[in-house]
Amino acid sequence: MKRGALIAAILLALAPLGATAQPRPAAPAKPVPPRQEPPPAEPEGPVYEPQLLKLSEIIGSLAYLRTLCGAAEAQHWHDRMTALVEAEGRTPQRRNRLTAAFNRGFKAYALTHRTCTDASQEAAARLAGEGEQLSRALAGRYGG
């Protein structure tokens, strides 16, 4: 036997059982997640967006208070909000902001008014006046 073959035989004999002369495969590489692009920047809202969000909040408050007091036009406020979102909600983010403002107004009065009282009716009347002024100002300044 040649000297190189003898050394190889000795090394194989000394290797632990199950070991082979082949190199061990490398641990599988962790998959690299696909590169995520940042979401597209939302176009800036109109200059009147703060007033529009305030109007949405007022409409939410009126939707709650008018329903609480059993007013005939209670559903009218939900319909107005739907129309507002359809007209002004050009992006999902914008629709979400308008809807969130409506919900804030609705919940704000739901926390403090459990039954229809004189205070509930007075708050509804005040909010209706404020909403009317705000909508007239928006329409006069930015409407077409």
| pLDDT value of residue 9 | 40
Q: How far apart, in Å, are the Cα atoms of 119 and each of 20, 37, 81, 110, 125?
A: 87, 51, 24, 13, 10
| Total-model pTM | 0.69
3-state secondary structure of 58: helix
3-state SS assignment for residue 132: helix
Residue type, 55: L
Amino acid at 48: Y
Which segments in the chain show pLDDT lower than 50? 1-21
Domains of the chain: which residue ranges? 49-142
